[in-house]
Amino acid sequence: MTEILWLRRDLRRADHPALAAAAAAGPVLPVFVVDPRLWRSVGPARRAWVTANLRSLDEAYDGGLCLRVGDPAEVLPRLARETGAERVHLTRETAPWGVRRDAAVAEALSAADVAGVPSGTPYAVDPGTVLTGSGTPYQVFSPWARAWQQHGWPAPVAVPTDLRLAEAPSDDEARRLLDEALAGDLPALAAAGEEAATERWRTFLDGALAADDEARNVPAVDGTSRMSPYLRLGVVHPRTLLADLAGHSGAAVQRYRLELGWREFYADVLHHHPHSAWADLKPALAALEYDEPGPELAAWCEGRTGFPIVDAGMRQMLAEGWMHNRVRMITASFLTKDLHVWWGHGARHFMLHLCDGDIASNNHGWQWVAGTGTDASPYFRVFNPVTQGLKFDPDGDYVRRWVPELADLPGKAAHEPWKHGGAPGYPDRIVDHAQERAEALRRYEAVRA
């Protein structure tokens, strides 16, 4: 009897509990449903990234990946009838929208006498598992991280050695949408697929991680793992990365383990507080005054603010579907503290363009900067885009790469073109940072009062 494996954020074969459960029960039909509601809601970089990884996975299944288009609550029961399947295996979803979708699918499958069989989640430890001694959710990362590490996680699941594949035709419309996603002028994406993810991870483990922990904060250097786009689609499972880290030691290894912990922590926060996907986690700043988005928001989105490090980051995101984490904090602070725009506008723009855009990590990262989330240091932290640029890109290599108008300004001069006669074609600063910092603090004090 055919076992359907419904793939979403688990586009891999290794360390895949749902695949293992399906393979143990019979021939497996892996299927990906292109849901038009989601497909239309993201930008071209994200569609292309999903498509590239689907094609790689299809090769890993010897062309056996079934592609369908539509509402999964309608597509999956219909596919079960076509194939005679009595079970649909899936990785359990934890984000609010996914939980609601999966509940609707489970109801539709039940009505068709088909069982939904969830196994595992996209996380090393299922969100909601790690609680305080009194059984309540943690509010702050550090104590949560200690408890998370003490709790531990299972070993990676072995790839099924007796995997047999079932067959079902793909929709022509699904193939058309995927072909369309890879056509035209696309961002320069990373290499897709499980093999590429593994190679990238091994290179990082043996190179940047061991060589220089501080390189992770320098955006001009390839000093980060760049695993976030692969983690976003489940091309690799965090449990696999944590198992590999167990064979290494040192401060850099622990720091990276905690970076994976932040991803898990934000998923845990969203699990306990689903409203925080698009609303302030902490209500203390509910009355904070924001400005209505205007031309300044457009300038920020397009990398035309006149602040080089901000513009470089925004242009990198448009060009690669990725942005260095340090620069994400700088650009987010600029939008919320210099332009006084509500964090949700920036979060939506990031989710539209980032290949690693994850609702929990992205939106709670934005709230961390805005002061409305889990951070113990609230709104009064304001990143100075010039000093941040001078500190983390002291030679100006990063800004010159992404803002070619600054190519003729050597060294750190690229961060302050207004002090060096400007740069042809590069815009003037759209705000005075010192004034807007004072205004941000004034608004914060008004709420506190």
7 pLDDT band, cuts 50/70/90, is very high
**Average pLDDT of the residues in 413-433:** 96
**Average pLDDT of the residues in 414-433:** 96
pLDDT at position 212:
54
Q: What is the set of domains in the chain, with CATH numbers?
A: 1-121 (3.40.50.620), 123-156+195-272 (1.25.40.80), 283-448 (1.10.579.10)
pLDDT at position 207:
84
118 pLDDT band, cuts 50/70/90, is very high
Residue 223 has pLDDT above 90, yes or no: no
Residue 449 has pLDDT above 80, yes or no: no
What phi and psi values does residue 76 have, to the nearest 5 degrees?
-70, -45
pLDDT at position 248:
87
pLDDT at position 448:
83
pLDDT at position 187:
83
297 pLDDT band, cuts 50/70/90, is very high
**Average pLDDT of the residues in 292-308:** 97
Predicted TM-score of the model (pTM)? 0.96
Amino acid at 279: A
Q: pLDDT tens, 177-222?
A: 999 999 988 888 999 999 999 999 999 998 878 765 677 889 998 8
Binding site for FAD, by residue number, is 224-228, 256, 259-266, 356-358
pLDDT at position 151:
97
Binding site, by residue number, is 224-228, 256, 259-266, 356-358
